[in-house]
Structure 1
Amino acid sequence: MRKLENSELDRKTVNDFKKADKTPLIIILDDIRSLHNIGSVFRTADAFLIEKIYLCGITATPPHKEIHKTALGATETVAWEHSKNVSEVILKLKTEGTTVLAVEQVENAHLLDQFKIINNQKYALVFGNEVYGVSQEAVELCDGCIEIPQLGTKHSLNIAVSAGIVIWDLFKQLKA
């Protein structure tokens, strides 16, 4: 086995990325404090050709050197928009026919390993504050909630890790 060289990875240019067909997933980050989490989510969104990221509330926006440290240029490829109010973004997406799901631990949440997508449906995933999670107001506006099954003592994952897990799972289903 031999590690591939960067030149062998068939990386898209920024222009190629912008022209490429996107995965019908939208990410909503609400009140995310960590600039590194924001950058990491951008990088994951780039890896899976995610359609767009909404940065809501106190979530910082590019350009910012701390976001850039982990995004590694993904802020230049992935479409993004800032909104002060996450509720407005959720309602807007729902009127456009997007299914909006909070990633949160709530009553009657769909466990990620049991959640099945509907073909030809666009989805938006809401990730909330590192301490308080997705707000109750946002949860109530969503079409449902996905919970990542956790078996240890913490029952809490970093936002960037949660985003990577959920995006990968839905990506696999969407591409199947």
Structure 2
Amino acid sequence: MIDQLTHNESNFQKKEFPILLLLDNIIGEANLGSMLRLADAFGIQKIIFCGSEPNLKSNRLKRTARNTHNTVNFEFEEDSVECVNKLKNQGYRTVAIEITSTSQSIENFVLENENKILLVAGNERHGISEEVLGLCEDYYHIEMFGENSSMNVAQSVGIALYEITKAFNKFDKK
């Protein structure tokens, strides 16, 4: 018989990656709760909520976050453009998860040196703002095989974080 393990019984090693997640005007409370949970699951350093301040008292956000709103490091910045510029000046490689004319599949993400990553995700309806998109250095999308060309922002961030942390783990083994 196979036993399902609890968190305390698993052998996952806690690890933090030099990744910041900038949410450019994401407003859905379930999406925000999911982002907090993903940030915890993938060991990122911090979430930066930009544009719209999250309602951390929302029951929907708290239910989705499953207590990670109390454990994940986050901050709020009003101006996404100013925040991206500041972090670029601090040496962050800006990576947009967005379908663009120059984006490539996130499965091709590679680290060439010990990059600090700023992963940028955009609003549920409009994506990353044009101004912020113009500041990003790299553009990645998720290959899709159906009729639709987009997916839920939290799902796309989960896939992107999986590929980026996988690249960090490969880089560490070199």
Is TM-score (shorter-chain normalized) higher than 0.5?
yes
**Residue 166 (structure 1) aligned with residue 160 (structure 2):** yes
**5 Å matches for 1:136-151?**
136-151=130-145
After TM superposition, give the deviation of residue 121 of structure 1 in Å: 0.6
- The C-alpha deviation readout for 1:109-130, integer Å capped at 9, x for no partner, is 1221222122311101111111
Equivalent-residue separation in structure 2 for 1:40 and 1:115 (angstroms): 23
- The C-alpha deviation readout for 1:78-115, integer Å capped at 9, x for no partner, is 11010111101100110000001111111111221222
TM-score normalised to structure 2 length = 0.90
Equivalent-residue separation in structure 2 for 1:170 and 1:7 (angstroms): 25
**5 Å matches for 1:85-96?**
85-96=79-90
Equivalent-residue separation in structure 2 for 1:166 and 1:2 (angstroms): 30
Comparing 98-107 with 57-66, which one deviates more in the overlay? 57-66
After TM superposition, give the deviation of residue 10 of structure 1 in Å: 6.1
Structure 1 stretches of 4+ moved >4 Å: none
Partner of 1:82: 76
Comparing 117-126 with 37-46, which one deviates more in the overlay? 117-126
Partner of 2:3: 2
Equivalent-residue separation in structure 2 for 1:8 and 1:117 (angstroms): 32
RMSD of Structure 2 on Structure 1 (CA): 1.8
After TM superposition, give the deviation of residue 24 of structure 1 in Å: 1.0
**Residue 22 (structure 1) aligned with residue 23 (structure 2):** no
**5 Å matches for 1:19-168?**
22-168=16-162
**Unaligned regions of 5+ residues in structure 2, if any?**
none
SS of equivalent residue, structure 1 residue 2: coil
Equivalent-residue separation in structure 2 for 1:76 and 1:129 (angstroms): 23
Q: How many residues align?
A: 169
Equivalent-residue separation in structure 1 for 2:43 and 2:53 (angstroms): 21
Q: Relative to 1, partners in 2 of residues 1:27 and 1:169: Cα closer, same or farther, differing over 3 Å?
A: same
Identity of aligned residues (%): 31
After TM superposition, give the deviation of residue 5 of structure 1 in Å: 3.5
Equivalent-residue separation in structure 1 for 2:165 and 2:109 (angstroms): 12
**Unaligned regions of 5+ residues in structure 1, if any?**
13-19
After TM superposition, give the deviation of residue 11 of structure 1 in Å: 8.0
Residues 109, 167 of structure 2: 8 Å contact kept? no
